[in-house]
Amino acid sequence: MHFFNLLVLCLIPVSTSLRLGTRFTDHEVVIDMGQKVGTVSKSYLSSAFTIGTIQEHWRHFNFSSERPFTLLQGLSPMYVRFGGTASCWMHFKKDKALEHKNFTDFTITPDDLERIAMIGNKGGVDVLFGLNACLRNSDGTWNYTNPLEILKHIASQGYDFGWELGNEPNHLSKFNRSIPAVNLAHDFITLRKILDKNPDYGHILVGPDVTRPINKINTPSQQYLESFLSVARGSVDAVTWHQYYFDKRTCEVKNFYDPKILDYLLIQLHLIKDLLAEYAPDKRPWMGETDSAWGGGAEGMSDRYVAGFTWLDKLGMAARLGTEVVIRQSFFHGHYALINDDLYPNPDYWLSLLHKRLVGQEVLNVQNSLDEGRVVRVYAHCTNTGLGQYQVGSITVMAINLNTHDTVILRLTVELSGLPVDQYLLTPGDKDITSGNVKLNGEVLEMIDDVTFPNLKPLSIPTGEITLPPLTFGFWVVPDAKAAACM
């Protein structure tokens, strides 16, 4: 291959004792710039609100403030999902006087739907709404009478929602409920017929939002998904599944940068990809709900700088293995949220904002990027040129250093070593990886006011030599790469 179609980076772990003469090993990483290996959606990085936010009467979410809508706009285009376990207890009532909300029986009203539409419209994002699949007829089929009222109301107001049906249907036994996969498949077919017959109800339908396979073949989650797809694959626009690494009650800080734990996702992505190749080769997978720790996120960890290791690695790895959309749980509320209950960004918001601005849809192949146990992780895309900051042909490199003591030097190969690189290095705000702040090239990131982002200015590296300190991550743009895959 012609050298202009290759970008070679040498990853050199530098020991703290290197100055005493300790040897180090060169790790060569090759990025193929000659052809893309995949394409993600323009809404690849997406996010979610839990139905619980509605149950809690939108507590803390200030609709009169411009800040949350500014922060949503920063991540547009994206899908914003409204769904979750509580959708099983959700009923729509037009009469506001009948409003009643608790966990086992709660009502959403036209006011709630209008607030959701406001989030979509003012935030410049597309809404995905999860309908209640637990309403069943005596013969086991879906009783869609009440959900149909939601569709009709949305259409009457001229809103455009996308739809889901149910949430983790293979995991309902803990609530003493059960929806067999074949039954749910027929429910999706029913909903698809309704949407096709009434185009003003919306047209996007994704599902079935099963839980993750647990790193081995033929788990109950996979069996459920296989049975569903064997009947209903023609009814969905994308196949959704959920992914978390660990339980919020038992996880530790070190789990967030443990290569073995990060590789759980590698195995799961391969399992999902292989399953779709067999049962739904014409469909793309979506990670319909995902974060680090299930159960609302781990306090003091999922909302801190350290969570960026799991988030950036997931974004890079999922794109490389064919995922079309990744929906982060959540945008607001919970310890895994991108913005806190005071509506200020957590560290992962800034990571997400940089990803949205710098990372394009075309995925490039990085040699060894799918090997297990990697302590230095590198992914690459064509650069997002839609904002006018970078020219066509640029590439964006995402790199993560999981070493706890070693600095990594990334060097461009001789043929490209003279090209400048724009660095967007993210480090913890106070040198502690559990910091609630994050620095970009040494400057703490924070909103200037409710409608103004800070200047996300890169550090120019004219020599092409990139330094990645221990337990850090970031983005590097090569503006003059002239990658054939990106032209």
Q: What is the mean pLDDT of each run of 10 residues along the chain (487 residues)?
A: 46 36 49 94 97 88 97 98 91 70 75 97 98 95 97 97 97 88 98 98 97 86 97 97 97 98 97 96 98 96 98 98 98 96 97 98 93 94 96 95 90 67 96 96 98 97 84 95 93
Query: At residue 281, what is the residue type?
Result: P
Query: At residue 128, what is the residue type?
Result: L
Q: Give the model's pLDDT for residue 163.
A: 98
Of 289, 324, 415, 446, the catalytic one is 289
Cβ 87 vs Cβ 130: under 8 Å: yes
Q: Give the model's pLDDT for residue 418.
A: 73
Buried residues in 464-483 as b, exposed as e (16+ CB within 10 A): bebebebbbbbbbbbbebbb
In total, the chain counts a number of residues equal to 487
Rounded alpha-carbon distances, angstroms, from residue 216 to 191, 209, 261, 477 = 32, 19, 14, 37
Q: Give the model's pLDDT for residue 11.
A: 46
Q: Which one, of 148, 236, 152, 141, lies nearest residue 188 by Cα?
A: 236
Examine the residue annotation and report whether 465 is marked as an active-site residue of this protein.
no
Q: CATH top-level class for 41-362?
A: alpha beta
Of 56, 66, 149, 168, the catalytic one is 168
Extract the tokens encoding 373. Answer: 């146990």
Q: Which CATH superfamily is domain 24-38+365-486 in?
A: Golgi alpha-mannosidase II (2.60.40.1180)
Q: Give the model's pLDDT for residue 412.
A: 62
Q: Give the model's pLDDT for residue 295.
A: 93
The structure's pTM equals 0.95
Examine the residue annotation and report whether 168 is marked as an active-site residue of this protein.
yes
Q: Which one, of 343, 330, 263, 265, lies nearest residue 302 by Cα?
A: 330
Cβ 331 vs Cβ 48: under 8 Å: yes
**Secondary element (H or E) of residue 410:** strand 407-412
Extract the tokens encoding 321. Answer: 């293995």
Locate the domains of the chain by residue range.
Answer: 24-38+365-486, 41-362
Q: Tokens 């005596």 appear where? A: 138
Q: Tokens 């103004």 appear where? A: 452
Q: Write phi, then psi, for 142 (nearest 5 degrees).
A: -70, 130
Query: What sections of 233-370 are H helices per DSSP?
Result: 259-279, 308-320, 347-358
Extract the tokens encoding 359. Answer: 């990372």
Extract the tokens encoding 468. Answer: 């990645």
